[in-house]
Amino acid sequence: MNYSGIIFDLDGVICFTDKYHYQAWKKMADEIGVYFDEVINNRLRGVSRMASLDIILERSKKEYSQEEKEKLAYEKNEIYKELLCKMSPADLSAEVKDTLDALRQKGCKLAIGSSSKNTKLILGRIGLDGYFDAISDGTNITHSKPDPEVFLKAAEFLGLNPSECLVVEDALAGIDAAVAGGFDSAGIGEAATHEKVTYPLESFSGLLGI
């Protein structure tokens, strides 16, 4: 491992909360009579809450004010947080935990770079509260991916330059953000197909081979 720091996206990399996001957006959309399905939901991956809402409201016949949008986003997040309470350390796979521990033993600094404002809540639920050396999330950024801000802040919090860090992502927008910020990247899932990903991986534990 030629990197001093590793910055991980949270959802789809460390753990999976996609189903809870989908259920929460679906409930909110149903309540306002807007069609929403899995295909539309796939467009929301790696996108901020308000940008996700704008995508959902593309199918709405009504124009919503900024205040109304913020209320809808708040309602969705309250539903989502209730669903997150179902999460537990069982939602953290042994492969992910063992790999993180091995990377730490190699001397790597570990950080989270996620657009989610619920990052700390999720980490607490899956047993990783206080585990990471730095957390950059939706509470400290103004631009979501593909803007590199969340990763640049994470590197700053680690006291490292982008060239010293590896970004681990599962979304195409996340790889775009890594490239824009001057980071090398490791892609899992869809992100492994990105033409600019540095290391396409078949599994999370593949990080140990870099």
Q: How far apart are CA 99 and CA 27, in angstroms?
A: 36
Q: Which of 11, 137, 147, 184 is catalytic?
A: 11
Residues 6+ apart with CB under 8 A from 111: 5, 6, 7, 8, 132, 133, 134, 135, 136, 154, 155, 157, 158, 165
Question: Is 11 a known active-site residue?
Answer: yes
| Cis, peptide link before residue 146, omega less than 30° from 0 | yes
3-state SS of 39-81? HHHHCCCCCCHHHHHHHHHHHCCCCCCHHHHHHHHHHHHHHHH
Shortest CA distance to 28 belongs to which of 59, 64, 73, 82? 73
Question: Is 170 a known active-site residue?
Answer: no
Q: How far apart are CA 144 and CA 10, in angstroms?
A: 14
Q: Which residues are part of the catalytic machinery?
A: 9, 11
